[in-house]
Amino acid sequence: MARRGILIERLSKRYGSGDTAVLALKDVTMEVAPGEVVGLIGPSGSGKSTLLKCLGAVIDPTAGRMLLGEDVIFDGGWRVRDLRALRRDRIGFVFQAPYLIPFLDVTDNVALLPMLAGVANDEARKRARELLRALDVEHRAGAMPSQLSGGEQQRVAIARGLVNRPPVILADEPTAPLDSVRAMAVIRILNDMARRFETAVIVVTHDEKIIPTFKRIYHIRDGITHEETGEGRAFE
Amino acid sequence: MISLAGRDILHAWGKFIFTGIGLGLLIGVTLTMAGVYRGMVDDGRVLLDNSSADLWVVQKDTLGPYAEASSIADDLWRDVATLPGVAEVTNVTYLTMQARREGAEVRVMVIGVTAGGPGQPGWPPQLIAGRQITRGHYEAVADIATGFRLGDEITIRRNRYGVVGLTRRMVSASGDPMVFIPLKDAQEAQFLKDNEAILMQRRRTEANPAFNRPGVPGLLDAVLATQASSRSVNALLVRLQPGAPAPDTAEAIRRWKRLTVYDRAQMEDILVGKLIATSARQIAMFLAILAIVSAAIVAFIIYTLTMDKIREIAVLKLIGTRNRTIAAMIVQQALVLGVIGFVVGKITATFAAPMFPKYVLLVPSDSIAGFFAVLAICLLASVVAIRVALRVDPADAIGG
């Protein structure tokens, strides 16, 4: 049986109740395999962020089912007690802006997650440096975030998302602040890392220039998703 | 696990140091205020210590000689000296006044001491320069805080006194430095009227037929002599024989001489509990206000620093940082700010204390209590920021 990255079945999210209730997600179903990068595309207010927040275990879905690997994490309610640990250990986040911690150097920005998980500082830094090397920013390991370029900051943010080897990475418009060259570089890195670490990557984006790079795309509109095959151009 | 607070402080050290210095100046004022109170208490105790007395005999039903006016006859000491347990009795006068020195005025407490020497109640126990008073008139020993030097002249009322000795830390309960002069001179300074007043009193007495009787020669002169001389002192200072019970001797003086007697503990209670009680309450109010202001400042600073990091806190929470780790970061920053502030405050108070016109006594126990109070205030002040930080939604890190 093929390994599973993340599977979402009939996931719904309703805000409010009664006459003022808003159904932000309606029976969303999607699956992303390990090593796969899929795009999640939709206009503003379509439910992208709500879906991302549900997947990231920061808001509670109203109904549906979610599996991470073979583990059911949501089935009408959360099946894991510690959502904080779930986010820390099994979900990686890459944001629109890098949101690096400004008072930590590059290495510690990446090493913070394993440290929070109880990994010894030296071991956490070793892991961080390995990832920084893989992402070609090891030479900035001792720099502060303010000393990095936008592209370097985003690569460090990707390293942070990957450092705990999560089965899934949620990337929220990771190329929005970047020019096309840097944007393509970030997408290439996400694809490389997804393959290398067998990570399922969901990229929420509006960015027209990167949409053709996805092999599969989920379109979302008014809380409903439909899947289509993408061009997958850049990474064949 | 790395110290998030430590890293943030190192990253924004300038902000912390300058804020800490500002807070430290406030803490310095607080410590100094506490030192002013301690100094007032110490002034009172030093006054009692330096008087070398076991009992203070004063006018009946008064709190004299320091807290209230007291006037008793200057020959009572002979009677008191005969009572059991009494080793030594001396007359003493206290007069707080403006003394003049080279055109300038200085507020001093003038002490009139009887002939004798060091060790006798009322006398300055030790000098730092010069000699004790050896002549019956116009010599003075001054506390160095008066600004007088050896050989200077002090003008007290109509007379000038040569400074023959200097002493240190001889102050009144209100911190005025002392000037010791012979008792007779001090009595004149305190009780004698000016020449015009004496003349008017003399005319008034001469015009009174009760005193100016042709058939009683010498009566008028005797009355005028009484009016022109001073026979009063403010108190008697009594030193007891070794082992003599103070309560028994005090009771004997009260019973047979119809005077009020205080022992050391009672006199200390009058000085600390009554004389400086209002000032103490005033200082306590200042301390309370300063503590509130300090807490408000720390709270505001920590709140501002936390608000500056709201996005980072949301990210930290999203990536799985525990609330207690974030709360600990804020608390640690508040405590570091408090420690920086305390160190700066302590240094400020230590260097500023000698510049104050009144004695400022910085007691180590006050500093220790102050240190823990600062930490407690910082802990309290960080509560608001912690509440804000804990309410941050990790979803804020994700757009939408």
The pLDDT tens digits for B294-347 are 888 888 888 888 888 888 899 888 888 889 999 999 999 999 999 999 999 999
Closest Cβ opposite residue B400 in set A50, A87, A89: A50
Question: In Å, what is the CA distance from A157 to each residue of A93, A110, B311?
Answer: 8, 8, 15
Interface contact A89-B320, CB threshold 8 A: yes
Q: 3-state SS string over B299-311?
A: HHHHHHHHHHCHH
Annotation: CATH topology of A37-60+82-229: Rossmann fold (3.40.50)
The pLDDT tens digits for B111-143 are 999 888 777 888 888 899 999 999 889 999 999
Closest Cβ opposite residue B398 in set A58, A85, A101: A58
Closest Cβ opposite residue A53 in set B12, B321, B398: B398
Q: In whole angstroms, give the CA distance from residue B94 to residue B64.
A: 10
Say which amino acid occupies B98.
Q
Interface contact A172-B11, CB threshold 8 A: no
The pLDDT tens digits for A17-31 are 888 888 899 999 999
Closest Cβ opposite residue A115 in set B2, B318, B394: B2
pLDDT band at B400 (very low <50, low <70, confident <90, very high): low
Partners of B395 on chain A (C-beta within 8 Å) are 53, 56, 58-59
Closest Cβ opposite residue B319 in set A49, A53, A113: A113
The pLDDT tens digits for A67-97 are 988 889 999 888 888 888 898 888 998 888 8
The pLDDT tens digits for B9-29 are 999 899 889 989 998 999 999
In the predicted model, what is the mean pLDDT of residues A37-47? Answer: 89
Interface contact A52-B400, CB threshold 8 A: yes
Q: In whole angstroms, give the CA distance from residue B265 to residue A158.
A: 76
Closest Cβ opposite residue B312 in set A50, A85, A101: A101
Interface contact B1-A115, CB threshold 8 A: yes
Residue of A nearest to B8 (CA): A103
Partners of A116 on chain B (C-beta within 8 Å) are 1, 319-322, 325
Grouping H, G, I as helix, E, B as strand and the rest as coil, residue B319 is: coil
Residue of A nearest to B1 (CA): A115
Interface contact B2-A96, CB threshold 8 A: no
**E strands present in B19-119:** 55-58, 72-73, 86-101, 104-113
Domain ranges of chain A: 37-60+82-229
Q: In whole angstroms, give the CA distance from residue B350 to residue B361.
A: 10
Partners of A101 on chain B (C-beta within 8 Å) are 4, 312, 315-316
Grouping H, G, I as helix, E, B as strand and the rest as coil, residue A72 is: strand
In the predicted model, what is the mean pLDDT of residues B349-375? Answer: 91
CA A233 to chain B, closest CA, distance in angstroms equals 28
**What residues in chain A have their Cβ under 8 A from chain B's Cβ atoms?**
48-50, 52-53, 56, 58-59, 84-85, 87-89, 93, 95-96, 99, 101-104, 108, 112-113, 115-117, 121, 144, 160, 172-173
Partners of B330 on chain A (C-beta within 8 Å) are none
Residue A109 scores a pLDDT above 90: yes
Partners of B393 on chain A (C-beta within 8 Å) are 58
Element containing residue B6 per DSSP (H, E):
helix B4-11
Residue B247 scores a pLDDT above 60: yes
In the predicted model, what is the mean pLDDT of residues A162-187? Answer: 86
Interface contact A104-B7, CB threshold 8 A: yes
Residue A2 scores a pLDDT above 70: no
The contacts of residue B99 (CB under 8 Å, 6+ apart) are B105, B106, B107, B108, B110, B146, B154, B155, B156, B179
Interface contact B322-A108, CB threshold 8 A: no
CA B313 to chain A, closest CA, distance in angstroms equals 9
Domain ranges of chain B: 4-43+277-397, 60-192+230-258
Interface contact B319-A160, CB threshold 8 A: yes
**E strands present in chain A:** 6-15, 22-32, 37-41, 63-68, 71-75, 91-94, 168-172, 200-205, 216-221, 224-229
Partners of A96 on chain B (C-beta within 8 Å) are 399
Number of alpha carbons in the 13 Å side-chain half-sphere of residue A34: 15
**What residues in chain B have their Cβ under 8 A from chain A's Cβ atoms?**
1-2, 4, 7-8, 10-12, 311-312, 315-322, 325, 393-395, 397-400
pLDDT band at A234 (very low <50, low <70, confident <90, very high): low
Closest Cβ opposite residue A103 in set B8, B319, B321: B8
Q: What percent of chain B has pLDDT over 70?
A: 99
Partners of B2 on chain A (C-beta within 8 Å) are 104, 108, 112, 115, 121
- CA of residue B275 relative to chain centroid, distance: 10
Average pLDDT, rounded, for chain B: 88
pLDDT band at A1 (very low <50, low <70, confident <90, very high): very low
